[in-house]
Chain A
Amino acid sequence: MPASIPQPLAVLTLASLLGPPAIAVQGNQPDLIPQAEPDTAPLAKPQEEDYPGTELPMNLNPTPDQARAPIGLLRSPGMPRIYWGQTTRFTSAFNPAFGIAVDGSFNWADNGSDEDGFAFDLGVAELTGQGAISPNWWGNFALETDSEEVELTEAALFYSGLADRTSIRAGRFFLDFGKQMQIHVHDLSTPQRPAVLREYLGTEVPGTGFQFDHWAPIGETTAFRFSTAVFGDQESHGHGFLFDDHDESHGPEVEPFVDDRRDFSELIFTARATAMTDVGEESMLQLGASLRAVPDFGFEGGTNDTGDTLSTDGLNQSVYGLDLTYGWNSDDGTRSWTFGGEYLYADGDLNAEVVGDGTPGASLDLLSGSAQGWFAFAEHAWDQQNSVGLMVSSLEKLEEALPRETESTLYWSHYPTEFMRVRVAGIHFDREGAEDGQALMLQLTGYIGAHGHPYNW
């Protein structure tokens, strides 16, 4: 390969930093567009050329200059195959789309704890990347931080070459449960995840596993989709702004865990089936049912008198959900009403509390049985920039005696542009046997670059 003669590193580094030439640098048209003569003459020359699937008038074939690279141009025996082919072309034309999302709030909370008062919270700063690998493969990642820790919440590959309307994904991705759990909190139309979802599933639940997804048309106006997934692990984490769902009065925090390796039958299993249909010319209705089964897990937390962490295992838990969403849009697309809700039922080993932490008789007191809860919301957008909504969530807390908690959120979202959101919210919660709590928040969210997550309907 004569073209593989290495060039001086400095020149090449500079070339790679400069990247390919800018595209679409053409003459600009100012506000004032004088047209000397009315342009109504018939088309002089028909455009016979067509380039289906692409519009960008750029040369995707790197020139010899662009193709220079300091490494990997000659694959000698034993070298990885990846250094042999087109993956070493250092043009940026095929780079994935990167984006940054920043979500934060200034808030005030009063929930009867030591942490009442005002606070500035960085909800999340997120870096995402996504792009096609080939016509049938696609990949993405999302790194999130709340300034205290960095988490890889998504890193998955998607394959859509099996059959029409079918895809599989493997890697790390969000749980497909109900209308909400696929969606990152900063993308929700509500200020925070409904309390019942936080309590029974988690604020955000990424897991590492494999998911099969298929949808099918039914008639002319209905689409049916289902997904099944198997996960090795699922971690609940969150960037909640206001309320810590763990109540310190019940002792040290107890965390669920799963073993790294276990039988296939003990892996976490999820399934979702949903159908949506047109209702008239301007509305649609969606119904869904979801399941998450965790057949083998344990709880750990607290210590005994020797400092050993308390734990229990061999537990199982299932959460079932039913959701219903109705949406209406005006014919010009500027106004909308959305009503939705979801009912959850949790069954099995639901939670554990530490009894006698740090003492010789310390133990984990298991809460087993069933609990249920729901959330419902209504949202109205009166133009393209403004919407107001009310969400109520009521649930049996996963604590001894299952005290009922109700959380109500009233919010106004303003979108100065589609890349910005300013939200004002008032939240009230009422829990049996505890002080009521309330909070106010001013939330600011900005999207820089391409913001994308593989949400499915």
Chain B
Amino acid sequence: MLTRRILLLATLIGATPLVSGASALPVDGGDPLNVVTTIPDLADIVREVGGDEVKVRCVAKGRENLHSVRLRPSHLVMTARADLFVQVGLALEHGWVPGLLESARNSKIMRDGPLNVGTGWPKLVEIPVTLDRRAGVDIHPLGNPHINMHPDFGSFAGRKIRDRLKAMRPEQAGKFDKNLTAYEKRIAAHRKRWAEAAKLLKGRKVVQYHKEFSYLCGANGILMVGALEPQPGVPPTPGHLAQITKGMRELGVTVILHGPWTPGRVAEDAAKRAGAKAVELPVMTQRNGGTWLGFMDRLHEGLLGAWDLELEEREDQD
């Protein structure tokens, strides 16, 4: 019995290197760095900055609630093989990234830590005074983490990513600098259009379903008069909906913004009661071929469309 037990244990434990060896992790400095990002926005920016020095994969697809992305086996595999894991941070992904990193048990990532591009973001809003579940479910101690919708995000994240890539591949520092410079030039071209949009949008009022458009609205001078969620992460209650739709009528709010993951029916019902329009906007870049610049363009077009506004004919920016 003892022999059989030890034999079985030894067989299973001995199989470890064999199974692991079938998927050796890349360590060669000449290979592209394996980078995993939480959201497609970051994947796009890493590609822009890293160029052919990086191979990027992303977890979120582009329509999920960023606080609760569903993980799949491939996410575990890609994270286990990653040289660098990039997230927004600021507790945006804290519902699923810690579990992913702990399950993946990638010593490289655990040692160096993920790159949190949101660290040091200078324009945080909605920072809680106290940390208490009575204030809601999606409580972010550092402030609203949906910074990927702010026009500064591309450049801010790009610089963070460049610095980390330079630390990992010092011999390619010049290439990363050059890539970032080129990317920021393109960002600047898009920003001219966003600034034109902001002039039209300034002073308009919206209600959000979930407070995920605060940076987008703030950057465009749009007044956010409330949210359908009574507290962040808490589904709307009938009483709160009645109160907020009444307030919308009184204040003349004609637009409710909501993301793809929020119940559109609730937003549409509320909009109907308030004599307003429910407008679905993306909350991140789409994973398959989407770019952060394209995403920001879509956001601004969506905002303009909400009030039937249009910019003058645009030049091709990409």
Contacts and interface: CB of A to CB of B under 8 A. Distances in A.
B317 interface: no
Interface stretch (A62-70, A87-95, A159-167): A159-167
Given A42-B155, A226-B12, A417 B116 contact: no
A333 B62 CA distance: 10
Contacts of B70: 329, 333, 336
B276 interface: no
Contacts of B261: 332-334
Contact of A24 (B113, B142, B191): B142
A43 B152 contact: yes
Contact of B119 (A51, A276, A277): A51
Interface string A263-281: 1111001010000111001
A214 B16 CA distance: 7
A224 B73 CA distance: 9
Interface string B7-38: 01100110110011011010000000000000
Main secondary structure of the interface of A (DSSP, over half): loop
Contact of A333 (B1, B69, B163): B69
A55 interface: yes
A284 B222 contact: no
Interface stretch (B40-48, B224-232, B267-275): B224-232
B253 to A, nearest CB: 11
B182 interface: no
Interface stretch (B75-83, B169-177, B304-312): B75-83
A333 B68 contact: yes
A223 interface: yes
Given A33-B214, A333-B70, A417-B137, A164 B106 contact: yes
A407 B227 CA distance: 45
Contacts of A277: 73
A349 to B, nearest CB: 15
A54 B201 CA distance: 36
Interface in B126-174: 126-131, 133, 137, 141-144, 151-152, 155-156, 159-160, 163-164
Given A52-B114, A55-B119, A40 B73 contact: no
Contacts of B151: 39-40
Given A40-B151, A224-B19, A28 B129 contact: yes
A34 B203 CA distance: 8
A111 to B, nearest CB: 37
A1 interface: no
Interface string A9-45: 0000000000000111111110111111111101100
B193 to A, nearest CB: 10
Contact of A50 (B22, B115, B126, B130): B115
B198 A38 contact: yes
A49 B195 contact: no
Nearest to A277: B73
Interface centre among B23, B113, B219 (most CB of A within 10 A): B23
Contacts of B164: 50, 52
A278 B72 CA distance: 6
B131 to A, nearest CB: 7
A55 B116 contact: yes
A278 B142 contact: no
B233 A38 contact: no
Given A40-B195, A47-B160, A52-B114, A24 B202 contact: no
Given A214-B16, A418-B137, A24 B74 contact: no
Nearest to B16: A214
A108 B245 CA distance: 42
A214 B20 CA distance: 9
Contact of A53 (B81, B112, B201, B221): B112
A53 B120 contact: no
A39 B218 contact: yes
Given A24-B128, A31-B225, A217 B103 contact: no
A416 interface: yes
Nearest to B17: A163
Interface centre among B25, B126, B156 (most CB of A within 10 A): B126
A221 B73 contact: yes
B80 to A, nearest CB: 6
Nearest to B200: A38
A160 B143 CA distance: 32
A22 B104 CA distance: 33
Contacts of B121: 47
A368 interface: no
A38 B223 contact: no
B129 A278 contact: no
B280 to A, nearest CB: 11
B77 A222 contact: yes
Given A38-B221, A212-B13, 8 more contacts: A26-B129, A38-B198, A53-B114, A165-B80, A165-B104, A217-B80, A332-B63, A416-B234
Interface of A: 22-29, 31-40, 42-43, 46-57, 135, 160, 163-167, 212, 214-224, 226, 228, 263-266, 269, 271, 276-278, 281, 284, 295, 329, 331-334, 336, 383-385, 416-419, 448, 456-457
19 contacts: A24-B128, A35-B221, A38-B202, A52-B116, A52-B164, A55-B89, A55-B142, A160-B105, A164-B107, A216-B22, A217-B76, A218-B23, A220-B78, A222-B73, A223-B76, A331-B61, A417-B234, A417-B235, A418-B233
